[in-house]
Amino acid sequence: MTTHSTAGTEVTRTVHRFVEVDGVRVFYREAGPTDAPTLVLLHGFPSASHQFRRLIDTLGTRYHLVAPDYPGFGHTEAPEDFTYSFESLTDVMEGFVEALGLGADGFALYTFDFGGPVGMRLAARHPEWINGLIVQNANAYAEGLSDLALGLTANRPGVPGAEERVREILTLPVTRSQYEGGTGDPSLIAPDGWTLDQHFLDLPGRKEAQVALALDYHSNIDRYPVWQQWLREHRPPTLVLWGRGDAFFPEAGAHAYLRDLPEAQVHVFDTGHFALEEKLPEMAPLIAAFLDASARPTDTMSATDTTNPADVKKRTPMRIAIVGASGNLGGAVAAEAVSRGHQVTPLGRATTDVSDPTALAEAVAGHDAVVVGVKGPDHLVPRSAQALLKALPDAGVSRLVFLGGGGSLEYAPGERFVDAPGFPAAYLETARDQTEALDLLRAARTPVEWTYVSPPPMHLVPGPKTGSFRVEARDTPIADADGESRISVGDFAAAVLDTLEQGTFVQERITVGY
């Protein structure tokens, strides 16, 4: 796979192919460099690989992503004599992995809904293939089944009226409700997903395939104890992402994984079953960081990682709340934190009023530190700074890192860039707000151990972590030998995590540069 870069923006190229597996012509999407960590994406009901298109576009420049359609779903056709069961779907997916040679170096497995029983069967057959699990509303525990789900799974061959009851859920209103139900903001849910799903459901023979699978679903519940034992014995690195508004699989199913995988990361979002539709900005950084970490265990080092290996082993995991984790810098900090083994709670303006001390205190209570990267109208940035100074002591949280702007840096003694003639008008309001926030922090008599981090005033550029940069407490930019002040987003995020982990630069403004 290749990516294309235009004006500093990388765009992935996704290819769409078929491969023959035991008489089944399997359709799949593939993107990203083949020498990068591989993620195999297993879709749910009643969808297909198209449900991952936005995730593939987001992560496909950095990771190798492969998303197949099961037999009878999406663009994959099956022979007329194909027997639809979860075992047979797994047979085809097993052959698919072998046909593409994905098992040679192993891969992380993304399981969603039907992808759970298919993925767990695949993992049990080939534990050597699995570098890590990303579980998104894919249930493997009794408490993860709602009354609605229990009613549906009671349908099985020989039960009077079972087939008729299954056919009632194969309609457009029900398909649409699976996308919109439980969401915080239905306007964020594109209609393309349920429309395309229903198109495929209405093709000849597709409803019969779904009926057969629904009547076989009880076989998955019967295997829950086997899968739980497999998780306990193999302890794969695991990231659990869950929409708490799921009508089929309630939130208890997410936390249940911790019984068998106590080191798993569990993140629950205020959304529904198809969580990626609404929460991709919050979830993608967590997925990226997990792929980095699962591809590189914490006791090994990459060629560009300058961290002392002894320090890696001594790291104490922190619980870090990140306000603005869906933003460019907040997302980078979240990814870096997860890659270092910390637990991240992403907080957004849609769910937390960042200018309300009471709401903030409730949201960040129980965390070790808070990282904030916000911007918005009506002086949101300084109002957030004021709210945080009140909220953190109330919540019992002492550590704050505020992702500020470079406009508050000085180009001459006492002369800030934001006040200079010609400062870009498009950034002026935000830069002034960020400057006011810094002034508020500096003037506060507070127990909060804050650090305000300023990037260079102009050249905060896309790019990975190199591990080679300078951090200083100062009010002027750090410049290189050519007089240029610049830093990559990856190194900026690394500097933030270094400051958090080391407890340095308390109640100081710092800046980063090469």
**Which residues are designated catalytic?**
273
8 Å CB contact between 334 and 346: yes
By CB atoms closer than 10 A (0-12, 13-18, 19+), residue 7 is exposed
Task: Using DSSP bridges, classify how beta strands 369-372 and 343-347 pair: parallel, antiparallel or unpaired.
Answer: unpaired
**Rama region for 470: left / alpha / beta (φ>0; ψ in -120 to 50; rest):** beta
Q: Where are the alpha helices (DSSP H) in 202-298?
A: 206-216, 218-222, 224-234, 252-260, 275-295
Tell me how far apart the alpha carbons of residues 473 and 301 are, in angstroms, rounded to a whole number.
28
Which backbone phi and psi does 396 adopt, to 5 degrees? Answer: 75, 25
Tell me how far apart the alpha carbons of residues 193 and 353 are, in angstroms, rounded to a whole number.
30
Task: Using DSSP bridges, classify how beta strands 410-412 and 399-403 pair: parallel, antiparallel or unpaired.
Answer: unpaired
Q: Is 283 helix (H, G, I), strand (E, B) or coil?
A: helix
Q: Count Cβ atoms below 10 Å from residue 73 Cβ, excluding itself.
A: 28
Using alpha carbons, select from 167, 151, 160 the residue that is nearest to residue 208. Answer: 167
Side-chain half-sphere exposure of 10, counting CA atoms within 13 A: 19
Per the listing, tokens 């194909």 go with 82
Using alpha carbons, select from 90, 105, 317, 94 the residue that is nearest to residue 213. Answer: 90
Under 8 Å CB-to-CB from 199, ≥6 apart: which residues? none
For residue 18, what are the CA distances in angstroms to 26, 29, 67, 97, 151?
5, 9, 11, 13, 36
The beta-strand segments (E) located in 32-150 are: 38-42, 64-68, 107-112, 130-136
Side-chain half-sphere exposure of 425, counting CA atoms within 13 A: 0
Which backbone phi and psi does 254 adopt, to 5 degrees? Answer: -70, -50
Greatest C-alpha distance within the chain: 84
DSSP assignment of 130-197? EEEEEEES---SGGG--HHHHHHHT--TTSTTHHHHHHTTSSHHHHHHHHHTT-S-GGGS-THHHHHH
